[in-house]
Amino acid sequence: MKDLVKRLTEAFGPAGSEELVREVIAGEVQGLVDELRTDALGNLIAFRKGNGNGKRVMLAAHMDEIGVIITAIDDQGFIRFSNIGGLNPHALLGKRVVFAGGTTGVISSEPVDEPKDLKLQKMFIDIGAADRSRAESQVGIGDMGVFYGPFQDLGDRVVAKAMDDRIGCAILVQALRELGSCPHQVWAVFTVQEEVGLRGARTSAYGIEPDVGIALDVTRVGDTPKSRTMEVSLGKGAAIKVTDSSLICHPGLRRHLVEMAKAHQIPHQLEVLEMGGTDAASIQVARAGVPAGVISIPSRYIHTPSEMVDMNDVRACVDLLVKTLEGELRF
Amino acid sequence: MVLRRLSEAAGISGQEQEVRAIIRAELEGSVHRLEGDTIGNLIAVKNPGAPGPRVMLAAHMDEVGLMISGYERSGMLKFRKVGGIDDRVLVSKGVRIGKDRIPGVIGAKAIHLQEPKERETPLRHDQLYIDIGAKSKEEAEKKVQLGEYAVFDTAYSEFGEGLVKGKALDDRIGCAVLISLLKEDFNLPVYGCFTVQEEVGLRGAAVSAYRVNPQLGLAVEGTVCADVPGVDAEAQVTALGRGPALTIADAGTLPNRAMLRELIRLARESNVPYQFRRTTVGATDAGRIHLAREGVPSAGIAVPCRYIHSPVSVASLEDFQNTVKLLTLFLRSVEGGFRP
């Protein structure tokens, strides 16, 4: 599975430009499902028929990653930029970004007196171009870039850019590979534009009209030195979300996920996230409402070029998803 | 010119009737039908039976303004803001209240009477009041009902070389673009949506997009322009006279890249000047259109306007014409179908 994670995390896919990620995933799931289509906003929807009187289940993992977008190029060839999704200016200094065509740049800043004065407006990207015309021959206003952060295998743990949420995509692909007899009609949706407002999940949920929605996404952990309190740790299993700032998970579905984890001895932990949101929030309020929950992958250093997950947690998430889909969904 | 009438009409969010009446009269006979909906949107339908993608074009009728929220014993009116207005632009401006256009002035203490410290702090809107010349609360109540709207009292005029000034160019200039566009001939279904309540949350666009169920969406705006002294080149966002501004990304929408590429291709091919909207702040009706039902590939195009959300904004008629031109080219180019 690490090979899949490597290929997925290394694909270029800022919000709104997810096509390269979609290609990788489409290639992987082609033979595993009964129908595969891309909708108007770019969501990749993989449908697998059920073999019983099951439910309409929508699974969602987002393909998009955070990035930068060029807003101006000056006479000296320096690039000004804005954010696509949540960027912390302090996490950007000295980092590299890669644009669609392969152009790489370094992020730096005008001098600031106080760290708190560091704002994106004061920052720029240097792509090594000596002047405007040389810069404009490589990139243009409106071009998006993503972090340069190659996949590295640290053993149990792996690190890369865009683990948020390519690891969720990888889990969804792996679950489709392993899924045995399943009574439910399953729509595995690889969504777009989650990082800018849970947008792809909203329109795909409208189209699918599911009975149940489950999102797969990363969550933060509280296990690093002097971390802010957060009762989720790397390596302690699949995190079953109770709530975050975007949704309160359906309590019945949440309890059902916990019971499934216990019944199949799958390592798991509960998650209460104070900030952040995920696709399940959009699914939950689609049409007349959908019971929705989240299986989260504990992750360190989210929204940096070095997002880290533990492959044992990833394994637990796949197992929990597969076992849940193979059984009845009564809650 | 219809832009004059549109600019001078009063129509804060939720009270767009004057603007709607002008547009209705202007388009009668040029489109297949004009539909109203329950929230107040006006939808001009052209060629509903034609082949090709159903295109929704949206321009919002509403403007930012004020709403009367209370009375002082002295007869002065208290007000609240509707939409985003910088408190600092309010002081000492003339306004017109309600459909009878009752004149008023947003008052403040004269400079002679201010403490030196007071001069350094801008007055907040809740410290201000509208003076309609009433001598008592009772008199004021008779003249102006609670909840009445007020707009800036600004006459539209042309000045400089091909420039116009007036209030509410955001987004009456977009409405004017749509009116011009809907008078052209196309062989595809075009839904010109004149939306309500954009300034308070893109509300009209949400329901009109649901109703129209389009296959492509375009928001047509009057947008921020800061080509003025004291703003660094990289922060000017757009410049007057350099053509329609295309959205690269904003807080509500990531434009469909294929539509954006097609707009650029057409502009280059036909030598229509264009520029990018070089910021990602703000949002337009496209933010709701693209999320309607199962999703709609959408883009944004705008006429640059200096000083928007203030009593007077400035735009270029050449930019206006070029916006109409580029959108005409776009609609003709997607007549045979378009793969977003």
Q: Give yes or no for residue A98 having a pLDDT over 90.
A: yes
Residue A331's pLDDT band, with cuts at 50, 70 and 90, is: confident
- As a whole number of Å, the end-to-end CA separation of chain A is 31
Model confidence over B23-52: pLDDT tens digits? 999 999 999 999 999 999 999 999 999 998
B275-331 residue pLDDT tens = 999 999 999 999 999 999 999 999 999 999 999 999 999 999 999 999 999 999 999
Rounded Cα distance, B1 and B173, in Å: 11
R_g of chain A computed on alpha carbons: 20
**Residue in B279, B295, B296 closest to A82 by CB:** B279
Facing A141 at nearest CB: one of B257, B278, B292:
B278
DSSP-derived letter for residue B12 is B
A185 touching chain B per CB within 8 A? no
Minimal Cα–Cα distance from B103 to chain A, Å? 42
Percent of chain A past pLDDT 70, that is, above it, reads 100
Chain A to chain B Cβ contacts (< 8 Å): 70
Banded pLDDT at A199 (limits 50, 70, 90):
very high
| pTM, full prediction | 0.95
**What is the spatial distance between Cα A215 and Cα A244, in angstroms, rounded to a whole number?**
13
Is A71 an 8 Å CB contact of chain B?
Answer: yes
Of B222, B290, B281, B223, whose CA–CA distance to B255 is shortest?
A: B290
Other Cβ atoms within 10 Å of B167 Cβ, number: 26
Whether residue B9 has pLDDT greater than 90:
yes
For residue B173, the model assigns a pLDDT of: 98
Q: Which residue on chain B is closest to A77 by alpha carbon?
A: B234
pLDDT at residue B339, rounded to an integer: 86
Q: Is the pLDDT of residue B222 over 90?
A: yes
Sign of CA dihedral A318, A319, A324, A326: positive
